[in-house]
């Protein structure tokens, strides 16, 4: 699976195994986010280790997930962000919002 979730009692990891986050993964991605929240996780970590490139739509789906988390009182974190992706997050000022670990 290109996007998968790993759940542990204190957190949920959503790992994106795609090279390019286009945005078309939205349905699957949001599904996993909701699933994690429903399982009672208070901590969501999006792992972008394999992601080299994010399109503007891809950014949109991250924002969507972020909003969902904030609305449900779940911590939203992004980890393993590479240079390219960091650049975009910075440009869009999302680096001040997302917890980047």
Choosing from 1, 9, 73, 93, the residue that interacts with other proteins (CB under 8 A) is 93
Burial class (CB within 10 angstroms; exposed 0-12, middle 13-18, buried 19+) of 43 = middle
For the CB of residue 24, give the shortest distance to other proteins in the complex, in Å: 10
Rounded Cα distance between 31 and 19, Å, is 20
Binding track over 45-84 against other proteins, x by CB under 8 A? ----------xxx-xxx-xx-xx--x--------------
Burial class (CB within 10 angstroms; exposed 0-12, middle 13-18, buried 19+) of 56 = exposed
Nearer to other proteins, 11 or 68 (CB): 68
The helix/strand/coil state of 14 is strand
**Cβ contact 59:92 at 8 Å:** yes
Nearer to other proteins, 9 or 73 (CB): 73
Rounded Cα distance between 10 and 42, Å, is 7
Instruction: Determine if 8 is a binding residue for other proteins (CB under 8 A).
Output: no
With CB under 8 A as the contact rule, which of the stretches 10-18, 32-40, 43-51, 85-93 interacts with other proteins? Answer: 85-93
Instruction: Determine if 91 is a binding residue for other proteins (CB under 8 A).
Output: yes
Instruction: Determine if 23 is a binding residue for other proteins (CB under 8 A).
Output: yes
């Amino acid at each position: 699976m290109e996007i998968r979730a790993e759940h542990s009692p204190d957190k949920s990891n959503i790992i994106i195994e795609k090279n390019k986050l286009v945005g078309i993964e939205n349905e699957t991605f949001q599904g996993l986010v909701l699933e994690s929240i429903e399982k009672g996780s208070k901590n969501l970590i999006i792992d972008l280790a394999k992601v080299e490139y994010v399109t503007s739509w891809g950014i949109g789906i991250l924002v969507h997930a972020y909003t969902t988390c904030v609305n449900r009182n779940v911590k939203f974190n992004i980890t393993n962000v590479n240079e390219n992706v960091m650049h975009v997050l910075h440009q869009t000022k999302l680096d001040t919002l997302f917890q980047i670990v």
